[in-house]
Amino acid sequence: MKSLYRADYHPPIPALPIRLYSPVTDRFVGPELALVDTGSDATLVPLRHLLAIGAEETAPGWLVTVTGERQAVALYFVDIYLEQDVAPGIRVIADQEGDDVVLGRDFLNRFPLFLDGPLKQLTVPDAVAVRRMRMPAS
């Protein structure tokens, strides 16, 4: 699967088409072109998406910003679909102000990803390509 970087950001940012799902209500939202942030520990989802699918709210949590500020946040459980693959039970931070889903390492570390900055393209390789890339060099 290949996905172009979002050019509405400067510099352009990697993005993936995802769908959000709540197993509690059996509702989806998306597809949504989510930002890929390899520097973020956690995934952020606009609160409006979480409310639209009736996502399950969990105990509140804390977010530490890049400046070290600590903020109380609302956390929700969702399943995140990337084409046919699913990352179940991701605990996401409700973003009350933003419009974009931001995929953090809690989601990204479940998939092999190839970021090609010069082509402004992100690739999620298929199983054959992954096996080939993981073969030891001879």
Query: Residue 97 to residues 42, 48, 52: CA-CA distances in angstroms?
Result: 16, 10, 16
Q: Residue 21 and residue 85: Cα distance in Å, rounded?
A: 12
The pLDDT value recorded for residue 138 is: 67
pTM for this model (two decimals): 0.89
* Contact predicate 62/71, CB 8 Å: yes
- pLDDT at residue 133, rounded to an integer: 84
Q: Count structural domains, the chain.
A: 1
CATH number of the domain where residue 92 is located: 2.40.70.10
- What domain range is 45 assigned to? 2-134
Q: What are phi and psi of 104, to 5 degrees?
A: -95, 180
pLDDT in tens, 15-73: 999 999 999 999 999 899 999 999 999 999 999 999 999 999 998 999 888 888 999 99
Structure tokens at 115: 């970021």
CA distance 100 to 33: 8
